[in-house]
Amino acid sequence: MPIIPSSYRAPWFLRNGHAHTIYPVAFRRVPEVRYIRERIELEDGDFLDVDWSRVQGKSALVIAHGLEGSSDGAYVRGMARAFNGRGWDVAAMNFRGCSGEPNRLLRSYHSGATDDLLHIVQHVNRAGYDRVGVVGFSLGGNMVMKLLGELGANIPAWLVGGVGISVPCDLKAACETMARRINAPYMRRFLVSLRQKLQAKQARFPVEMNDAGYERLKTFRHFDDRYTAPIHGYRDAEDYWARCSALAFLPAIQCPALLLNSLDDPFLAQECFPREIAAAHRWLHLETPINGGHVGFAGGGLRHGEYYSERRALEFLGADPASANGER
């Protein structure tokens, strides 16, 4: 599909990628959404917590959050509220270890852990919904796009499509962008949060989760080389990034998919804007607003209203799937 011209215009004081990234985190609140938690026991002995916001709809949306996020993030709640308001039930996923309780196994979540996402999507379908859509933010968006590509021609008819928002679909390029000095405050925040996750599991896994010398870790490359890659079966950070980047899976997607990445996103590299792939693709839609920051796209009252990313996800997934991009 052609690259979609974006109608989004950011508020005048958020026409800076950093300001737009920070503002929703600092000020947005979505108190209207009330969750009911379901714990799903997995065959490997671990668990996933899913937070449901139901309005007795026939369609359901699965939401996958970003790095070190959870279902409680304002961006997740905002998306849930928007879909609830159009008659969709919502299942907001918490990745392993992200629901407020450490997961049981050594393995955690990572950018390529589509097995957990697929398990939740299938679980939601089995709950009786005839239409299921999926939206992912940042790391969760990479998972969504990778999963759709992995499913390829085997996409079930009930899975109507997916939306990825602020997606680092080239993990290596995005991690190198995050390592720049201007992004150091974000990196420090992520590394502090990730260390807390390690420390919560040290008693059970004293060797693998040893954080001695952790203060020397300054980038995702350092963290992924030491923890993510060996724990999850990858040779090193480079191997992990290469095998888990959604970019390589985009050409195989065979269902409606929207990638919404802003051009001023401070977390993304140019490689995360797959224009050539989208231009020649039957199913992949790429929208690149000038502004939006990382998981921003503020609008509709800023603090309490509906954001542009929520309206776009609704427009894209709310239509008949056959009308979104030709017949299935």
Helix (H) or strand (E) holding 174: helix 171-178
Helix (H) or strand (E) holding 51: strand 47-53
Number of C-beta neighbours around residue 279 at 10 A = 12
Residue type, 137: F
Tell me how long the chain is: 328
Partners of 63 in beta bridges? 92, 135
Residue 59 sits at φ, ψ, to 5 deg, of -110, 155
- DSSP letter assigned to residue 3: P
* 294 catalytic residue (yes or no): yes
Using CA atoms, how far apart are residues 52 and 193, in angstroms rounded to an integer?
A: 25
Residue 287 sits at φ, ψ, to 5 deg, of -125, 125
Task: Spell out the residues 6+ positions from residue 25 whose beta carbon is closer than 8 angstroms to its own.
Answer: 74
* DSSP reduced 3-state for 241: helix
The one catalytic residue in 89, 265, 285, 309 is 265
Scanning the structure block, which residue is given the tokens 């379901």?
38
Using CA atoms, how far apart are residues 262 and 254, in angstroms rounded to an integer?
A: 24
The one catalytic residue in 53, 59, 99, 138 is 138
* 281 catalytic residue (yes or no): no
* 265 catalytic residue (yes or no): yes
Scanning the structure block, which residue is given the tokens 């799937």?
321
Q: How far is Cα of residue 196 from the mean position of the Cα atoms in its chain?
A: 21
Catalytic residue list: 138, 265, 294
